[in-house]
C-alpha cells in the first residue's frame, strides 16, 4: 500500500467512525481541538496527519490511537492467484 493509499484509507476510516457517531465535521473538529477544514482534508486523504493529531481525532471518536491505526492495518489486499 502506498503512502497516498494509506492516507485515503485512514481518512475513510475517520469519516466512517464520525458518521457512526452522528458527528458533523464541525463537531469532530470542536471535540478534537482541530479546525473543520483540516478534518475535511484528512478525511479526503489529501494530507498526511501527524501522530499527535491522529491521537486527538481518535480520542474525539472514542477510540484509542491503536484502534484507529489498527483499522488501517486490518486492510488486506485480495490474495493473488
pLDDT tens sequence across 37-71: 999 999 999 999 999 999 999 999 999 999 999 98
Q: Is residue 78 part of a domain?
A: no
Q: Which domain holds residue 46?
A: 3-73
**Domain tally, the chain:** 1
Please tell me the pTM assigned to this model.
0.86
Whether the predicted pLDDT of 16 surpasses 90:
yes
Q: Please provide the distance, in angstroms rounded to a whole number, between the alpha carbons at the two ends of the chain.
A: 18
Torsion angle of C-alpha atoms 8, 9, 10, 12, degrees rounded to 10: 90
Whether the predicted pLDDT of 29 surpasses 90:
yes
Q: Which residues have CB under 8 Å from 76's CB, separation 6+?
A: none
| CATH number reported for the structural domain that contains residue 51 in this entry | 1.10.260.40
Q: Is residue 81 part of a domain?
A: no
CB 10 within 8 Å of CB 43: no
Q: Is residue 37 part of a domain?
A: yes
Q: Is residue 80 part of a domain?
A: no
Q: Is residue 66 part of a domain?
A: yes
Q: How far apart are CA 21 and CA 13, in angstroms?
A: 12
Q: Is residue 49 part of a domain?
A: yes
What 3-state DSSP class applies to 4?
helix
Amino acid at each position: 500500500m502506498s503512502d497516498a493509499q494509506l492516507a485515503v484509507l485512514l481518512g475513510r476510516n475517520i469519516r466512517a467512525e464520525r458518521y457512526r457517531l452522528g458527528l458533523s465535521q464541525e463537531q469532530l473538529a470542536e471535540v478534537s481541538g482541530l479546525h473543520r477544514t483540516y478534518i475535511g482534508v484528512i478525511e479526503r486523504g489529501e494530507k498526511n496527519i501527524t501522530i499527535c493529531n491522529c491521537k486527538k481525532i481518535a480520542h474525539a471518536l472514542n477510540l484509542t490511537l491503536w484502534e484507529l491505526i489498527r483499522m488501517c492495518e486490518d486492510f488486506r489486499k485480495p490474495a493473488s492467484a
